[in-house]
Structure 1
Amino acid sequence: MTEPNSKARNTTAFYIQSVIAFGVSLFGTLAGIYYLPLDPWPKGFLVMSMLFLVTSSFTLAKVVRDQQEEAMLKEARMQRLLSEHEPFSHAG
């Protein structure tokens, strides 16, 4: 019988690197849009599109994570069911 793996944890350094990378990329994109030689309306459209892309990325990541966790739970339930069911234990 195999037991489901414990949930892997990220290191603090990886978490900090991810947060910094997100902040730098968000700031860089906003600064780039700000300094574009465009009128305010096209800049506003680009900012709205970028923010929608960011929120959609978070939503997609959450949905993928939830599906993976659900698959792991189903696998753990099946392993438990198979380990509890022994077809030859009641035979004579």
Structure 2
Amino acid sequence: MAKQFLIRRDTSSWTMQVWLSFGLALISCAIGVWNMPSESLDRAFLAVGFFFCLFASFTLAKTIRDNRDDKVDTGPWVIMVWVGFFIAIALTAWGLFRMQIGQWEKGYMVVSWLYLVSSVFTVAKTVRDKHEADLIESGGSIAENTVPQPTSRIQG
């Protein structure tokens, strides 16, 4: 008897909520940076810090998910991803707390920043779950599509 798999997909309302939440996190960060009562250099630093956290979070989410069943990335790559994520968080936190702005402005920026990081992981999971469900439904294997295959070399 062939194995049958139950494919559980996210509902359309969940997917919409995830993307809407991610968009709101981006907008709240942009509004906070744009309206922050501070020097232009501070606003630029914070914008770069938010982008650094955004991309480091996406990279970390992908690395964790790619390596959950089999180790497909090298040890140095995994270490670099984790170190990059922690540096992004630490530098952004350091920049936020040294800025000469009011407490409520700092609070707004911290909450919108953490909202952004949190929503990145949720978006990454939602996108990956959909991709894996599509692969299973099409008859493909998740392992075939996520693990890099060795290339042949011509020896001469």
Mapped to 2, the partners of 1:31 and 1:18 lie a distance apart of 20
2:78 corresponds, among 15, 19, 31, to: 15
Q: How much has 1:71 moved relative to structure 2? A: 1.1
1:73 aligns with 2:132: no
Mapped to 1, the partners of 2:112 and 2:128 lie a distance apart of 24
Mapped to 1, the partners of 2:83 and 2:71 lie a distance apart of 21
1:30 corresponds, among 84, 89, 93, to: 93
Mapped to 2, the partners of 1:27 and 1:53 lie a distance apart of 15
Mapped to 1, the partners of 2:71 and 2:139 lie a distance apart of 16
Q: How much has 1:10 moved relative to structure 2? A: 2.2
Q: How much has 1:14 moved relative to structure 2? A: 1.6
Normalised to the residue count of structure 1, the TM-score between the two structures is 0.70
The count of aligned residue pairs is 71
Kindly provide the CA deviation profile for residues 23-63 of structure 1, in whole angstroms up to 9, marking residues without a partner as x: 00011111110011101110011000000000000001111
Structure number with bigger Rg: 1
Question: Deviating runs (4+, > 6 A) in structure 1?
Answer: none
- The percentage of aligned residue pairs carrying the same residue is 31
Mapped to 2, the partners of 1:18 and 1:62 lie a distance apart of 17
Kindly provide the CA deviation profile for residues 50-84 of structure 1, in whole angstroms up to 9, marking residues without a partner as x: 0000000000111111111111101226xxxxxxx
1:4 match: none
For structure 1, the 5+ residue unaligned runs are 1-6, 78-92
For structure 2, the 5+ residue unaligned runs are 1-69, 141-156
The SS at the match of 2:73 is: coil
Greater relative contact order (CA < 8 Å, ≥ 6 in sequence): 1
The SS at the match of 2:138 is: helix
The amino acid that maps onto 1:60 is V
Backbone CA RMSD of aligned residues? 1.6
